[in-house]
């Protein structure tokens, strides 16, 4: 059994998660380890928000793993009622 709906404070590098656990994270980039991605979830390589983003760390991950999947939901998606639709 896994904890549902994680916050950025719950995340740890190397942690195994399922996508549903990340569905309430907004404004957070989660880099997925492609070597661990299965139908049961994946391990986290790196995570950050706008204030903690480390371009050197991201570059290091891209050199080691090549193209890496990143989960990101923009912060403005958090409050659907405030969203502006054209």
10 compared with 68, residue with greater pLDDT: 10
71 lies in a domain? yes
Pairing state of beta strands 28-32 and 42-49?
antiparallel
52 lies in a domain? yes
Cα angle: 15, vertex 57, 22; to 5 degrees: 35
- For the cut 90, the answer to whether the pLDDT of residue 59 exceeds it is yes
pLDDT classification of 66: cutoffs 50, 70, 90: confident
1 lies in a domain? no
85 lies in a domain? no
54 compared with 80, residue with greater pLDDT: 54
23 lies in a domain? yes
Return the closest-CA partner of residue 47 out of 79, 4, 15, 5. Answer: 15
Convert the pLDDT of each residue in 9-45 to its tens digit: 999 999 999 999 998 899 999 999 999 999 899 999 9
Domain that holds residue 28: 16-78
Q: Look at the chain and report how many structural domains it folds into.
A: 1
Cβ atoms of 47 and 13 within 8 Å: the answer is yes
Distance (Å, whole) CA 83 – CA 77: 7
């Amino acid at each position: 059994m896994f904890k549902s709906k994680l916050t950025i404070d719950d995340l740890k590098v190397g942690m195994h998660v399922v996508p549903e656990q990340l569905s309430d994270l907004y404004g957070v980039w989660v880099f997925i380890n492609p070597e661990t991605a299965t139908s049961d979830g994946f391990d986290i390589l790196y995570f950050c928000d706008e204030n903690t983003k480390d371009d050197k760390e991201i570059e290091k991950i891209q050199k080691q793993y090549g193209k890496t999947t990143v989960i990101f939901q923009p912060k403005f998606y958090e409050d659907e009622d405030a969203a502006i639709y054209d």
